[in-house]
Each structure stands twice: as C-alpha cells, then as structure tokens.
Amino acid sequence: MTDLYHHLQLFFKELKKTSEKPLLVVCGPTASGKTALSLQLAEDFNGEIISADSAQVYRKLDIGSDKVSPVDRQRVKHHLIDVREPDQTFTMADFKREATHAIQAIQHKGKVPILCGGTGLYISAVVDNYDLPEAPPDPKIRAALEQEYQKGGKEKLYEMLLELDPVAASKIHPNNVRYVARALEIILKTGQPLRPQKANPLYSVFKMAVDWPREILYDRVNHRVDEQIQKGLFNELKTLLAEGYSEDLQCFSALGYKEYFPYLRGEKSLEACKEELKQNTRNFAKRQLTWFRREEDIYWISPEEFLTLTTRDRITS
C-alpha cells in the first residue's frame, strides 16, 4: 500500500465515526498528472470526478483545454465538462453552484466526489464554501473595461483594481487579465469590495497534488504542449473562428488559443506563437504552484508514488 492510500484509508475510517461527507481534491499545476491520478482514485474508491477547469466547461475546446478523452469519460463519469457553448459566460459563482449540485448527486448515489483541476479559485469556492456575489456579466461595464485594456493593457486594469480594491488585487496575479477584469466588473456592478465570505465547510476534504521538481514539471509542460500541437490545436482554433465565434470571447482567453491570434493577424510567425504558448504555459504552471504551495492542507505525493499509483507516466492535466 502506498503512503497516499494509507492516509486515505485513515481519512475514510475517521469519517465513519461522524456524519461528515468526504470530498477528495486533486489539485496542482498543469501537466502534473491530475487526470491520471483522479481516474485511478475514482476506480479504487468508487468515485466520480468533477472538473475544476475553467476551460473544460466549454464545448468544442477539446485540445486546448486538454479535455479528458471520451474513453476515460466512459471509464469514470465526469461532471462540469461541456456544459457551456463557446460564446456563453461561466463565472466562479456558476462553478460553485453547479459543482455543489454535482457533489450532492454523487453522494446521493453512495459514491465519492473527486474535485479535479488547477483553477485554484474554483476549488476554494467549493472547499471553503464561499458566499459569492451574484453579478451577471454586464455588457456596458465589459465594453468600458475593454476600452481601458486597449488603451493601457493589463497594467491599466490591474492599477484600477489596486485602486478600487487592493485586497482583491493582492489575491490575483496581474497577468491574469480575465480574473482582474471579472473582479473589476463585480466591484463596479455591486459598488462593493470583492469580499467572498467563508461559510461553514460542507465537506470533510482531503487535498492532494503531485510534487514534481520544477525542471521536470517544465519538461512535462513542454511535452504536453507539443502533443496538443500535434493533435491539431491550431486547426481547432481555426474551426471555431470559421464557425463564427469571436476571438474576444471569454473562452479564448484560455492558454492554447490566445497565443495564435498574433499569427492570424500577421504579427508573428507560427513558430514564435508556439514558443510563446510553451513559455506562457510554464509561467502559468509556476503561478499555480505558488498558489497551491501556500495551502497547508495539501498532501504532496512524490513522483515515485505517483508513477506507482498510475502504473505509467502519462502526460496529462
């Protein structure tokens, strides 16, 4: 028995003494092996998986979001994948509401819910039971923020957030334009600082992540991006644009899509866009790692134990 499974057995044994409901969380940076691990856990502990990925909610964004394969979705039931069209919005409040519903449905069947993904804010919304402000997208505010972005770039938006709500700004990376803009939108719409309030936890949570050395994680990232390109990532984007979807949509802010727009506009070579995608993905993995490292309740799995559990090293999300 591996160390992880020993701890999980103790976790479930303790829960039998109480009425608390279990929730397993597989988190960590991109390309760290979350999908392979969650699939194995689901099979070994009678679980179903809830995706905590802000891109996998969109239909047709399969390669760029590194969506779980249809074969694996037949192997284990997944939730919150393909639940929105590319031109629809999906907020953190949407995720919390729909993930909570999925967790309850899984528990009703007597199974173990497994929340799997690298979007730290989504995971926190569920695990910490945040009371999130309901602020539907506002086209006028978004248009105004877009104008500010065109004039001053991401730095201008972040300066606005720092001025309006420095506490919220301290929790969002300046490069994460989508989250900065959404925070500004909520603040401007509600007239209140962005202060999600923690309520009483709904579940007893066991979090885990794979502890890859930084250089190996970056190699995995590069390999994963190469695989996405070989599978036809660029053609996936061109198909979506040919179907009439605008490059300004929320879904295209995800890694793997926005990097190609300079090529389509004739501003960069295709190779330069590919290299930028690799660099941006490595930077994203670094930010994710920083986010999860600050959480004290994560069980960090050694690479050796991960490979033992998953039987073979699969480059996956």
Q: What is the CA radius of gyration of the chain?
A: 20
Alpha helices per DSSP H over 76-138: 92-108, 120-127
Which of these CATH numbers, 1.10.287.890, 1.10.1200.10, 3.20.20.70, 1.10.1050.10, describes 216-284? 1.10.287.890
CATH code of domain 3-132+197-212+291-310? 3.40.50.300
Q: What is the pLDDT of residues 99-118, one digit of tens each?
A: 999 999 999 999 999 999 99
Bridging pattern class, strands 112-116 and 47-51: parallel
Count CB-CB contacts under 10 A for residue 174: 14
On average, the pLDDT of the chain sits at 90
Question: pLDDT band for position 19 (50/70/90)?
Answer: confident
- Record the tokens describing residue 20, joined without a space: 């608390």
What is each CA distance from 278 to 226, 259, 294, 297, 315, in whole angstroms? 9, 10, 25, 30, 15
User: Kindly report the CA angle at 36 between 31 and 40, in degrees rounded to 5?
Assistant: 155
pLDDT of residue 317: 43
Distance CA 122, CA 132 (A): 11
pLDDT at 196: 63
The pLDDT assigned to 199 comes to 64
Task: For residues 48 and 273, give the distance between their C-alpha atoms in angstroms, rounded to a whole number.
Answer: 37
Read off φ and ψ for residue 251, nearest 5 degrees.
-60, -30
β-pair partners for 210:
301
The CATH 3.40.50.300 portion of the chain extends over 3-132+197-212+291-310
Find how far residue 108's CA is from the centre of its chain.
25
Q: What is the mean pLDDT of residues 202-213?
A: 95
Q: Where in the chain is the domain with CATH 1.10.20.140?
A: 139-190
pLDDT at residue 151 is higher than 80: yes
Check residue 224 and give its pLDDT.
Answer: 95
Rounded Cα gap, residues 156 and 45, in angstroms: 48
What is the pTM assigned to this prediction? Answer: 0.83
- Residues of 116-155 as b/e, b for ≥16 C-beta within 10 angstroms? bbbbbbbbbbbbbbbebbebeeeeebbeebeeebeeeeee
> HEC states along 250-289?
HHHHCCCCHHHHHHHCCCCCHHHHHHHHHHHHHHHHHHHH
Outline which parts of the chain fall under CATH 1.10.287.890: 216-284
* Total Cβ atoms within 10 A of residue 293: 14
Residues 6+ apart with CB under 8 A from 226: none
Distant-in-sequence, close-in-space partners of 100: CB < 8 Å, separation ≥ 6? 126, 202
The bridge status of strand 78-79 relative to strand 197-198 is unpaired
Q: Which CATH number fits domain 139-190: 3.90.1150.10, 1.10.20.140, 3.40.50.300, 1.10.10.10?
A: 1.10.20.140
Q: Are strands 22-26 and 78-79 parallel, antiparallel or unpaired?
A: unpaired
Q: pLDDT of 259-300, one tens digit each?
A: 999 999 999 999 999 999 999 999 999 999 999 998 999 999
Question: How far, in Å, CA of 67 to CA of 82, rounded?
Answer: 9
CA-based nearest residue to 223, from 315, 142, 305, 310: 315
